[in-house]
Chain A
Amino acid sequence: MISLAGRDIMNAWGKFVFTGLGLGLLIGVTLSMAGIYRGMVDDGKALLDNSGADLWVVQKDTLGPYAEASSVYDDTWRGIHAMPGVARVANVTYLTMQVRQGDRDVRSMVTGVMAGEPGTPGWPPYLVAGRQITRGHYEAVADIATGFNLGDRLQIRRNHYTVVGLTRRMVSSGGDPIVFIPLKDAQETQFLKDNDAILQQRRRTTANPNFNRPQIPGLLEAVIALQSSNAYVNAVLVQVATGHDAEEVAQSIRRWKRLTVYTRSQMEEILIGKLIATSAKQIAMFLVILSIVSAAIVAFIIYTLTLGKIREIAVLKLIGTRNRTIAGLIMQQSIALGIIGFVVGKITATLLMAPIFPKYVLLEPLDSVIGFVAVVVICILASIFAIRAALKVDPAEAIGS
């Protein structure tokens, strides 16, 4: 039994392969778009994973610390540490800002981590180079996406930090790479204004007769000192002791400490359902449109390919070929085209497209499988139109005009 489809492809294999390549690029873009969507969601989850927390304790009635601003006193953790079911607690601060290094600056999320040892909540869970922070001040661990190298001197506000370690996939929900610095420096960073602003603030305070009272020497200095200190952090990260239910511990902190507490699933809901909801929907919509367009293009290609062979099909009919054979010919060609397209698409999406995107592109194997099934189904559906056209051909056309 000779494969009619194979023979036909052999007949014009160059054209066939190039059509497949073109289709592949289109499928590649669609797969990349799915990857971008997955990447966005994964960025949000990576942020939660990397913080190493089971519970996030934030300012009452806020969606902090990622989706909204939140500040709690930096000694709140002591009270929370004493709650039953709490294994470890750590203060943490987050501030998205431009971090300067030499002439360039990189948009990154500066995270302040509490002094301690590796494994403390909030610390980078793994490194790709260098070491973890050991000094209580002026050291940084940066995500490699920042482009910083070990030993680089970073400038955050007016202080300089030495990069001692590099890590990977530590990003904010917006995809900005994270720079970890010691908490005390980070608290200062959040609060510290530039020197001009500080001078102006001092001048303003000095000009206020309520604070600048000659009868009370030292009052002005005390007020100014008070204005330039920051005893707040953005959240307290809590790890729940084994054998305790996170929701129960959260409930007791909510009840007795009168703070808002989020569990992992609630935090995911906030990040994915609220923070990146619109942009994720935007990308998802793009994905849907692109899939429809790809499907339409596949259908058109198969259809035109078939119409291009209408004369040969008429000859086949004339020599008495069964309809099933002709249908098989078209469908097999269509599926072969789809497979070539998918293979090329997967390769280009992984090797060419994903690395050049500035944000993380996550190509999930399951997505690829779904993509493959979708491509095959679309090809089969598209070939049905072509088959209908082919079967309606009048055998007389083979000899006519």
Chain B
Amino acid sequence: MFSRREFLMAATATSALLGSGMAGGWSKLMAQQGLSEDTLLSMEPKGNLTLVHITDIHAQLKPLYFREPSINLGIGDVNGLPPHVTGADFLKLYDIEPGSPDAYALTSEDFVSLAKTYGRMGGMDRVATIIKRIRSERGADNCLLLDGGDTWQGSYTANKTLGEDMITVMNSLEPDAMTGHWEFTYGTDRVQEVIDALPFAFLGSNIYDNEWDEPAFEAWKMFERGGSKIAVIGQAFPYTPIANPRWMIPGWSFGIREEDIAKHVEEARAEGAEVVVLLSHNGFDVDRKLASRVDGIDVVLTGHTHDALPEPVIVNGTLVIASGSNGKFVSRVDLDVKDGKVAGYGYRLIPVFSDVITPDADMAALIDEVRAPFADELSRKIGTTESLLYRRGNFNGTFDDLICQALLEERDAQISLSPGFRWGTSLLPGQDITVEDLHNACAMTYPAAYRSQMSGQTIKDILEDVGDNLFNKDPYYQQGGDMVRVGGMGYTIDPNKEIGERISGMTLLATGEAIDPAKDYTVAGWASVNEDTEGPAIWDVVENHLSKHPTVKLPDNQSVKVVG
């Protein structure tokens, strides 16, 4: 592919020749000339077994923009190791040409200009094309399709249909197994109803019945593919009842339960498994630690922390595969199974360039069908953005700045708090903001925006606690996600310190005064995990704000200082 410099020159020259009116079509053309479905999908086959992994789709059916983080700190032993490498360092580590399609797909470098060149990514109709092609090349009987969860939540239509749109679409792809996290935010009854009807396995080795402390879900399943026996162990997000409302799933307990996974590996091997796969929603660092402590797992298909890595990380002889999020990538893992064990592998992280990969016609029709009842509302314009809107990053994202601003103004608060979710799509400068775009950033089953008095000490305690969930030196104590976003207040954080000592310099931005631990402040926020939270839905808060300020222009957020 062309280098970034050449691309910029070419862009200038072409614009001069054709005029700016051609820019859109030209960029699509360039992307198509430089890339083809064949170059994206072709891979030297290896062995006789293929695992296809997709995870953290967050209910994104259509192609989208998704900016990867520019800051993703690793603490302790994993400092500087993937996935805690971003931007130019990431390009250097994996020897990726700046300005190339891979650079666009995998980093935040030059995101806006590259997004205009290479276009949107993802789309479940494109994903369907990829899966069908892999199955036809490798033989359907030699493939396993595994969904890492966070599939049913994250969009307007998923929230309206309680995940039904995604369930319909995924069922048509015929996965072999899945596990979950946000799935559980539809509550026990809905989850149970769906799982009972699911034509494939929903696996959760770490989900226990709360009353009797006994396993509540199918933990693992044996498959026969490519002439081999493959055991797939499922691991749901360990901290679902802590990070999300426990009251919605009162009968289920989670946790890492490493000893259970070790036990299932032994059982599977005893029953003749030649390959053991952990289909996990632990998050990357948790899985890296787990793979180092539990022997006998051939492949960990990791999820939750939304990392996309072009190569497996190998830990204790285990391949740890990170397949990104939002339908941006599909992973293909070829395994050569010989004499009852894995003798070799091939790997391709397939970036789903929506302008390059042909949509599967049947899937495109099915997607249109599930979205049709909501089409008018989805496309209703509620604003325009002059700034890039995105969420990923450890401390802030512009979409959260917009949400925090809306909370401050609409709820008449001094300080606003917005959770550091890692889902939520991006919008380029100049794009309309539609109802669909807004809901991509906040669609959930507990959206109430509360308003409350909190002391300065309480606010500090919150930041310290979230900070420890994110930056604890022991990955088993990390919950994933990012730092809670704060509006109206600045602070300094030293991620390497211990709980209680990370946060300092809390300042009320409106006046510049230091936050007084003993004084009360009016705080607005959303997504409380408590049952009786009251307030308008966050999307109504943001839409009302946009109706008064329809053009979004956000300055660089410099209110969080990172030290240490």
Are A and B interaction partners?
no
Interface residues in chain B, defined as those with a beta carbon under 8 Å from any beta carbon in chain A: none
